[in-house]
Structure 1
């Protein structure tokens, strides 16, 4: 058995062990990502429902306010500064994604107008907050979906290509080593037989001389 053959066998066995361990880790990661994604999908569905309901209510009250106050007063009621968003970041299996965003709303100017205008402004602020929450959870859902797909692709590559390739390579090495062992064993046996035959030749010659 050659040292190169033994070294190759050890090297492939180590790589195969690493590949199998990697496949188990990828499988575990896939299940964790799938569970977290399911949770986010539920949150996204609830956030989308909330946003839809508030958006319809805001549109309704905007029409009422437009009829009562006019477009000039509606425009005057709009805040002078833009809203801001502060994101918090969560992480699952190394994937960072936004969660629990905080919408920072500027104060609106003090203007006259009907109670409809005041409620219209309030409900639009609620719509904006709901929209920020929906956008954050949709972004988180998108990031985890992409990572889950990539993890599944890597796992399939390891299980369907890398591991079978290494198993076949290891099988070939073992066959070669078995053949070398058999060849070496036969060579040693033939050498032993020749030595026995060579040792028996002088003994036969001596017996012939004694008989003569």
Structure 2
């Protein structure tokens, strides 16, 4: 507190200084609270999207495992090895920014391509398993992207929340206290000046 007093200019200049800094602090707190609301809204949306993608991932994975077991019973492990394409799936992540927070915004998915020379799954069960596993991998990528976005947004929201708390609970009350003390000092000074003037006027009239 004493450090803050030493920084404040004396007199009416100090009152203007405090008024300006108080207005800036209040405006900053309002803007940060708006940012916090936007971050929390997006975080909730990302967590819901992650929950939906996670459910789809687990459902497709269980579905694929069921078809895989059927396919193995029909054709054996050799049939599975022969039907796996040499190409691999490719996943890309597109990034966006919200209030300065860079986070995953979308997932691009490219399924593996089987060349004409490669054999296709020898039975229907393995074909269904392949389709389901591709959907599961896609859903897993979506889940990971939404979950990462939610965590990044939550971390920034926590930082903003701390800054708002510091402004609302410490900096703004400190400025108001300093302003009240300075205004009281100015009132006392003006009152003393008025008394001196009246005394001087009464002395001059004698």
Say yes or no: TM over 0.5.
yes
User: Corresponding residue for 1:209?
Assistant: none
Alpha-carbon distance in structure 1 between the residues aligned to 2:85 and 2:172: 61
More deviation in 86-95 or 6-15?
Answer: 86-95
Tell me, yes or no, if structure 1 residue 128 matches structure 2 residue 137: yes
Deviation at 1:165, TM superposition (A): 0.7
Tell me, yes or no, if structure 1 residue 165 matches structure 2 residue 165: no
The equivalent position to 1:80 in structure 2, one of 82, 86, 109, is 86
User: Corresponding residue for 2:4?
Assistant: none
Deviation at 1:129, TM superposition (A): 0.7
Gap regions ≥5 residues in structure 1: 198-212
Structure 1 residue matching 2:112: 3-state secondary structure? coil
Deviation at 1:55, TM superposition (A): 0.9
Structure 2 residue matching 1:70: 3-state secondary structure? helix
Instruction: Write the mapping of 1:6-85 to structure 2, written as runs, cut at 5 A.
Output: 6-85=12-91
Tell me, yes or no, if structure 1 residue 176 matches structure 2 residue 185: yes
Alpha-carbon distance in structure 2 between the residues aligned to 1:137 and 1:37: 9
User: Corresponding residue for 2:111?
Assistant: 105
Alpha-carbon distance in structure 1 between the residues aligned to 2:112 and 2:152: 30
Alpha-carbon distance in structure 1 between the residues aligned to 2:182 and 2:28: 23
Give the root-mean-square deviation of aligned CA atoms: 2.0
User: Corresponding residue for 2:3?
Assistant: none
More deviation in 172-181 or 75-84?
Answer: 75-84
Structure 1 residue matching 2:53: 3-state secondary structure? helix
Deviation at 1:186, TM superposition (A): 1.8
More deviation in 67-76 or 6-15?
Answer: 67-76
User: Corresponding residue for 1:146?
Assistant: 155
User: Corresponding residue for 1:119?
Assistant: 128
1:12-46 superposed Cα distances (whole Å, 9 cap, x missing partner): 11000011111111222222222222222222221
More deviation in 71-80 or 45-54?
Answer: 71-80
Structure 1 residue matching 2:103: 3-state secondary structure? strand
Gap regions ≥5 residues in structure 2: 1-8
Structure 1 residue matching 2:10: 3-state secondary structure? helix
Alpha-carbon distance in structure 2 between the residues aligned to 1:75 and 1:11: 77
Length-normalised TM-score, structure 1: 0.82
